[in-house]
Amino acid sequence: MNTISCTIEKVAPFNNAVFQVILKPSKPFEFKAGQYLCVVMGEKDKRPFSIASAPDAEHIELHIGAAVSESYPMQVVERLKECLATGNSIEIEVPGGDAHLRADSQRPRLLIAGGTGFSYIKSIVEQKIALGQKIETTLYWGCRNQDAMYYETIAREWHDAHPWLNFIPVIEEASADWKGKEANLLEQIKNDFDSLKGYDIYIAGRFDMVGAARELFRTMGVEEDHLYGDAFAFIK
């Protein structure tokens, strides 16, 4: 990993539990869509977050899920807010992770995000758009309710603008006017697919969800060499 200093351009809430962070690196660096960075809080305290922007973007975007009860990410948000107010920079280490987009693959793609796992998926989709790829892609984004789906608008815009992308929003608590699926995310995928054989699958979200997804997908013919998610490096 490389250590790079960044100035903070923006720290603003999407909703009451997720913050959008925009960083400007002091120098360009290379990474692959779907990789992550670590915010350096101390010499032995480096906290990972998916990069939500594509590799060719001028700025780095992060989506930090930081409800008040979750001190680990909230401490990062508070540090970033402090740096924004004082004009100080923060150091990051980049790039990390092996679950990046396999851009040369011609297999259909299944992208799965739980909550702020959408940040990982956003980088991949924006890179596909930048490359002009038209490989069949299905994007599932699961959240507790519509308020939690903080970037719903941009995902629906992708769906409308790109015939190769099918966006399927899934929430567990829906209102009467909800335009999407009301279900558990993994149950919805199980209902929609008889088999996952032949797909490249990219997944991000809470470790328990990702672990449960792998167990389910094994019953659906998943080829695990084509199942990508950084969580798998931390769960057995």
Per-residue confidence (pLDDT) for residue 236, from 0 to 100:
76
Q: What is the pLDDT of residue 70?
A: 67
From first to last of its 236 residues, what are the pLDDT tens digits of the chain? 899 999 999 999 999 999 999 999 999 899 999 999 999 999 999 999 999 999 989 999 999 998 766 688 999 999 999 999 999 999 999 999 999 999 999 999 999 999 999 999 999 999 999 999 999 999 999 999 999 999 999 999 999 999 999 999 999 999 999 999 999 999 999 999 999 999 999 999 999 999 999 999 999 999 999 999 999 988 87
Question: In this predicted structure, what is the pLDDT of residue 69?
Answer: 65
How much is the pLDDT for 118?
98
Please state, as a whole number, how many other Cβ atoms lie within 10 Å of the Cβ of residue 141. 26
Backbone φ and ψ for 198, nearest 5 degrees, come out as 95, -5
Q: How far apart are CA 173 and CA 184, in angstroms?
A: 10
pLDDT of residue 235: 87
* Residues 77/89/42/82 CA torsion (nearest 10 deg): -40
What integer pLDDT is reported at residue 234 of this predicted model? 85
